[in-house]
Amino acid sequence: SLPSFKTVIITKQFECLNFITGKGLQVKYRFPRDYNHNKNMVVVELTFSNKTNNFMNNICFVKMQEGITVDPFSTIERLKPNGSAVTIMKIDFNDKNQSFSFDISLDNKLIPNLIIKCQAGDLIEPRHLNEEELTRQIDFPVKQYPIRQLY
């Protein structure tokens, strides 16, 4: 039978705000594929990094583009110099390979137009199938084409 893995870890991050445009704040995101109770929402992990020697206060979600449902990230009250904070938000991409644009506020100053690009693979919920389940899903004769010969 095929091996079954318990955990899927996606470590590749993408930048949606570089520290120059963000006045010292850098924001990266990744799709951890965590279990989500709402099948329409995609979990996005955000890493906020303070690249300055000063504290940053009140990093919060301000607004988003229309037509997309989102559970925004929690406000980060204070981010220490050269520190990082990790938070999540959930986005309903409406089963489309589209970008999500939103604005944040840092120290009560608007930072507009952060963009999260969702790849098609990130819209798919990971599932682990044994050989029997896989055969049933793809519906072709195993005796004629054994799974191991597909590699």
With a cut of 50, say whether residue 53 has pLDDT above it: yes
In a domain, 5, yes or no: no
This prediction's pTM: 0.73
In a domain, 2, yes or no: no
In a domain, 69, yes or no: yes
In a domain, 50, yes or no: yes
- How far apart are alpha carbons 48 and 24 in whole angstroms? 10
The domain in which residue 71 lies consists of 14-150
The overall average pLDDT reported for the chain is: 81
Mind listing the pLDDT tens digit for each residue in 84-117?
999 999 988 876 677 889 999 999 999 999 999 8
- Smallest CA-to-CA distance from 78 within 111, 55, 50 is with 55
In a domain, 1, yes or no: no
CATH of the domain at 76: 2.60.40.1150
In 3-state terms the chain splits into helix, strand, coil percentages (rounded to 5) of 10, 40, 50
In the chain, the number of structural domains is 1
